[in-house]
Amino acid sequence: MNLNQITVPSKDVPKAIEFYIKLGLELIVHTHDRYARFECNVGDATFSIHHSEDVPKGEGVLIYFEVKDVAETVSELTKKDIEIDRMPEDKSWLWKEARLKDPDGNQIIIYHAGENRKNPPWRIQ
């Protein structure tokens, strides 16, 4: 089984489109400000947003995008006026990550895990 795409709700699809393009995703489908799909620049996964009057409360949806260099990516994003909530830090689960939010409050985690993403020392064999 292969994960094809993740879809998250947005109250303002045009604003979300602008945000995700700044994040580095390529817009491949756009239907009348109700739905948009993006292609990730690495791998085959796609990511989409759909219009909704309600979006999750609290932490909302957590979306992880893996990059080669978290600090460099965060530097590029801040130059595009994207606010970073938590600057890059090493985590006890052997990842480096930074956190930010999309316009609807969904948490975006920019991280690098390398081999530890699928094969941490505590992986169940």
Give a yes or no: residue 64 inside a domain.
Answer: yes
Tell me whether residue 101 is in a domain.
yes
Q: H or E segment at 83? A: none
What is the C-alpha radius of gyration for the chain, rounded to an integer number of angstroms?
15
Asked if residue 41 is part of any domain, the answer here is yes
Whether pTM exceeds 0.85 = yes
| 124 assigned to some structural domain | no
- Whether 111 is covered by a domain: the verdict is yes
| Residue span of the structural domain in which 37 resides | 5-117
In a domain, 122, yes or no: no
Say if 125 falls within a structural domain.
no
Domains of the chain: total? 1
Q: Note the pLDDT of residue 34.
A: 95
Asked whether residue 123 is assigned to any structural domain, the reply reads no
Cβ proximity of 28 and 39 under 8 Å: yes
Average pLDDT for runs of 10 along the chain of length 125: 88 96 96 94 90 82 93 97 97 96 93 93 90
Residue 11 is predicted with a pLDDT of 94
Give the CA distances from residue 91 to residues 86, 98, 119, in Å, rounded to whole numbers and listed in that order.
12, 10, 16
The pLDDT value given to residue 1: 77
Res 14: pLDDT = 96
What is the CATH number for 51? 3.10.180.10
